[in-house]
Amino acid sequence: MYSNSFFPVILKPSRITVDTATLIDNIFINKIDHKMESGLLINDISDHLPVFAVVHNYFDRKAKSTTRITEIRLRTQRSIDAFKQDLEKQNWTEVYSNEDPNTAFEVFQSTIISLYDKHFPLTKVSKKYKDPSKPWITKGIENACKKKNNLYKLFLKFRTEEAEKKYKTYKNKLVNIIRTSKRDHYHALLEQNKGNTQEIWKILNQVIRNSPKKIDYPEYFIKGKNTILEKTAEIATEFNEYFVNIGSNLAKQIPDPTNLFEIDRYVEKNSSTMFLTAVKQEEVSNIIKTFKNKKSTDCFNIDMTIIKQIIEYVVRPFTHICNLSFKAGIFPSKMKIAKVIPIYKSGEKHLFTNYRPISLLPQFSKY
């Protein structure tokens, strides 16, 4: 190795037992013009101590911060009560005086959003990133892991059979505790979501695939053959173009059924008409209360949890808008605006074609 200008940077034994200490894990380098640190990590991940070498200033990259700045809406019981009081005092005359469902809903929605922003303004907060992949690791287990590591350090220091036995006994008990905690965690999740097939499959996929729930999007996307898109606005625009046109492009490939056979010969027309009666406030309120308490927000940054808490204060004008929509045969345009989230399917992550859209409609349109 020396004859080829390589020299070792690990100079201490990497496998230590009661009777032996051998250096069998090596790192050789041929860079001597950089500041470097190397050594062993005291960790019992295996019977070989992990080795490392850090070459400073080799890559000009900034380390990712473990602290993230995000914007959230702080909801306290006091702010929620104040929000309800303002809605209760609100004059909805402009909503009732409009015969156009679009205009009536715009006035209704703008009033709610204005008061929503007033009582729950967006606030910037810094959060430390915490790995959510092992939620069954409790604070007590974390402390037990620290104690186990200390016992391992004592064994490496004294190298006696007594120290080794004490360390291994504690380690085996800790492994059983972690396994039990993990089993209980998933058992509780399955019991909690009993009857919800979608959530059960999500839990099973976490166990089988061991994949994180959060999707990390790549830093760039490829448009066409060789166009690289890196700006967020450009990527969002291209996603929109792809999702908007994919349906019509697929529809063009479907042959026109009228050219194949006469539909009237096989489909019997219904001569009866359908009539919709006006909805009542109690009906609207009861249906909305049956919705799940989801915290996923729509394009107006409102979630169903807050809607269910305030519905009794806005049910009258909203019922009027519903009946106005039935009467005019018009579904308000603002109710059709969806918040679209691209979900990765499989294949190359940099291609738009490997994503499918998830649309989150406005909360009031779900009624």
* Phi, psi of 208, deg, nearest 5: -75, -50
74 domain residue, yes or no: no
Residue 124's alpha-carbon distances to 121, 128, 215, 274, 326, in angstroms, are 10, 13, 22, 51, 42
Buried/exposed 282-308: b ≥16 CB within 10 Å, e otherwise? eebbeebeeeeeeeebbebebbbbbbb
Give residue 244's pLDDT.
Answer: 87
Same domain, 165 and 253: no
79 domain residue, yes or no: no
Residue 210's alpha-carbon distances to 96, 134, 177, 214, 237, in angstroms, are 53, 10, 20, 12, 32
**Chain-wide mean pLDDT for the chain?**
87
Is residue 306 within 8 Å of residue 77, measured between CB atoms?
no
Write the pLDDT tens digit of every residue in 340-351. Answer: 999 998 889 999
Same domain, 158 and 222: no
12 domain residue, yes or no: yes
302 domain residue, yes or no: yes
Query: Which tokens hold the place of 65?
Result: 């911060």
Write the pLDDT tens digit of every residue in 175-210. Answer: 999 999 999 999 999 998 888 888 888 888 878 765
- pLDDT of 11 over the 60 cut: yes
| Closest to 365 (Cα-Cα) out of 334, 323, 320, 339 | 334
Same domain, 223 and 199: no
Same domain, 185 and 287: no
Same domain, 148 and 186: yes
Is residue 141 within 8 Å of residue 178, measured between CB atoms?
yes
Rounded to whole angstroms, how far apart are CA atoms 312 and 28?
72
Is residue 15 within 8 Å of residue 24, measured between CB atoms?
yes
- pLDDT of 261 over the 60 cut: no
292 domain residue, yes or no: yes
Is residue 283 within 8 Å of residue 345, measured between CB atoms?
no
61 domain residue, yes or no: no
77 domain residue, yes or no: no
Domain that residue 169 falls in: 139-209
Is the dihedral angle over the CA atoms 132, 138, 141, 142 positive or is it negative?
A: positive
Amino acid present at 33 = D
71 domain residue, yes or no: no
Q: Which of 149-163, 237-251, 323-337 has the lowest mean pLDDT?
A: 237-251
Same domain, 202 and 324: no
Same domain, 302 and 261: yes
- pLDDT of 258 over the 70 cut: no
- pLDDT of 63 over the 60 cut: no
Rounded to whole angstroms, how far apart are CA atoms 360 and 188?
29
Is residue 342 within 8 Å of residue 357, measured between CB atoms?
yes
Give residue 131's pLDDT.
Answer: 59
For helices 139-158 and 161-192, angle between their N-to-C axes, nearest 10 degrees: 160
Rounded to whole angstroms, how far apart are CA atoms 16 and 21?
4
Q: Give the domain-ending residue among 191, 209, 227.
A: 209
Same domain, 169 and 290: no
Number of domains, the chain: 3
